[in-house]
Amino acid sequence: MNYGKNFAYIYSTHLIHFAVQVAPRIYKYLSNKNKKKEILDLCCGTGQLAYYFLTKDYKVTGIDLSEDMLYYAKKLNQPFIKGEQAAFYCDDARSFSLNNKYPHIVSTYDALNHLDGDESLIDCFRRVFEHLETGGTFIFDLNTEKGLSKSGTFIREEEMLFSIAQNMFEPARNKAFTRYYGFYKDDNGEASESYFKYDEVIYNTIYKMENVKQYLYDTGFSNVKFAHMNNLEHIIDEPEREDRVFVIATRE
């Protein structure tokens, strides 16, 4: 999704928890499978997961559709960009084309749920497959229908932020969405106070997990499995019973 400037700031400061939590788990899994230290971070957002891998001496390429999100990714990882260890590009997960193949490709924080439907997901899988080395691993997480069916309103009030998140489920449209809106205070160190409004709707497509698995096999991937988000070695046989799963696919 192509997020706006104000929401990109909120994302970079207040919505980084998922990347911070899962980056070590993904690193542990990948480092045990393949010693090559290069990774493509698809839908990299504001670059927190990329940052973790860069501190582990990985070479990282990040792709995101939002220039505003990439602004913060580049800001966070500027020393690594200067050292030519990192590069970030504005591109579409469904159609990107890079002159490289990678041993590892990852996409996190249900980024692929934000594609507009199954055909777009298949297009993404095809592009990933073309950019993955033989023996390489593709890891991404998805919200399941069970997870997306949980509606509710969540309010967050802090000195610098007032935020509301409303989750809604529309099974008739095969969609769910979250509206994030509120205000944040600009911490510019000056006496005057500036407040900025943000209002962003994030759409999630509901995929059948059995279809996702079949799409990956049809694309050419092998050994497709579902894993628990807290432990990628913990294989799940019934992914629809979980709120969120990781999908691990290899190219042989």
How does residue 160 score in pLDDT terms, banded at 50, 70 and 90? confident
Identify the pLDDT of residue 67. 97
Q: State how many domains the chain has.
A: 2
* Residue 94 and residue 141 in one domain: yes
* Residue 136 and residue 153 in one domain: no
What average pLDDT score do residues 60-85 get?
Answer: 98
* Residue 65 and residue 164 in one domain: no
* Residue 244 and residue 124 in one domain: yes
Q: Using one digit for the tens of pLDDT, what is the confidence trace for 174-183? A: 999 999 999 9
* Residue 78 and residue 140 in one domain: yes
Q: What is the pTM of this model?
A: 0.94
CATH number at residue 187: 2.20.25.110
* Residue 42 and residue 136 in one domain: yes
* Residue 89 and residue 13 in one domain: yes
* Residue 120 and residue 153 in one domain: no
Identify the pLDDT of residue 175. 95
Range of the domain at 15: 5-145+208-250
Task: Give the separation between CA 166 and CA 201, rounded to whole angstroms.
Answer: 9
Whether 104 has a pLDDT exceeding 60, the answer reads yes
* Residue 132 and residue 160 in one domain: no
- The per-residue pLDDT of the chain, averaged, comes to 94
CATH number at residue 110: 3.40.50.150
Whether 117 has a pLDDT exceeding 60, the answer reads yes
What average pLDDT score do residues 116-140 get?
Answer: 98
CA dihedral 78, 81, 86, 91 (to 10 degrees): 80
* Residue 216 and residue 114 in one domain: yes
